[in-house]
């Protein structure tokens, strides 16, 4: 059963970030990705936290060799962080998908509002491939409607109004 109205296939496609968690070297990138996609600081912050053991092991531990105390200390910490990333990625999946669907809905509504505004401004139907006018254009206001019924009908753009 799907969590969103977008369906199970969409949800599965959006859950690809979980595969990053299984990579080890890029497990931290899963949380950077979902944090950026949903604008959630807590997740990209966790991506940075999960990156730190990898960075320390890769840059600091590699300089001292495989038998050093630095490598023996940071390698298990990195492995634990990989397991934590995998578990955490599954735990946040539901919230991520709901937030992503909500962002998509807001974006769609904003696009519809912009489209409606443009259609009203230019009096066109953007869904029609030929962009035909939506309604008959309104005639220019006459001086009769502006000054009263005792005037001669002329366009409001005429500068010489006759009474």
pLDDT tens figures, 9-67: 999 999 999 999 999 889 999 999 999 999 999 999 999 999 999 898 888 777 777 78
Which structure tokens are listed for 114?
């912009």
- The predicted-structure confidence for 107-162, as pLDDT tens digits, reads as follows 999 999 999 999 899 888 888 877 666 665 555 556 555 555 554 455 545 444 44
* Mean pLDDT value across residues 74-100: 95
Answering whether pTM is above 0.75, one says no
- 155 forms beta bridges with 142
Residues 31, 161: Cα–Cα separation, whole Å: 70
State yes or no: pLDDT of 163 exceeds 50.
Answer: no
Residues 102, 38: Cα–Cα separation, whole Å: 9
Which structure tokens are listed for 105?
């809905």
């Amino acid at each position: 059963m799907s969590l969103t109205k977008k369906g199970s296939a969409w949800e599965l496609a959006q859950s690809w970030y979980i595969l990053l968690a299984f990579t080890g070297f890029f497990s931290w990138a899963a949380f950077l990705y979902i944090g950026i996609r949903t604008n959630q600081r807590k997740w990209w912050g966790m991506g940075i936290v999960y990156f730190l053991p990898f960075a320390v092991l890769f840059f600091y531990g590699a300089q001292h060799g495989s038998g050093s105390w630095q490598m023996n200390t940071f390698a298990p910490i990195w492995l634990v962080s990989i397991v934590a990333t995998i578990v955490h990625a599954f735990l946040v999946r539901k919230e991520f998908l709901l937030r992503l669907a909500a962002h998509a809905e807001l974006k769609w509504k904003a696009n519809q509002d912009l489209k409606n505004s443009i259609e009203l401004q230019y009096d066109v139907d953007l869904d029609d491939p030929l962009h035909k006018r939506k309604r008959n254009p309104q005639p220019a206001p006459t001086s009769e409607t502006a000054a009263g019924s005792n005037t001669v009908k002329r366009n409001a753009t005429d500068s010489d109004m006759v009474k």
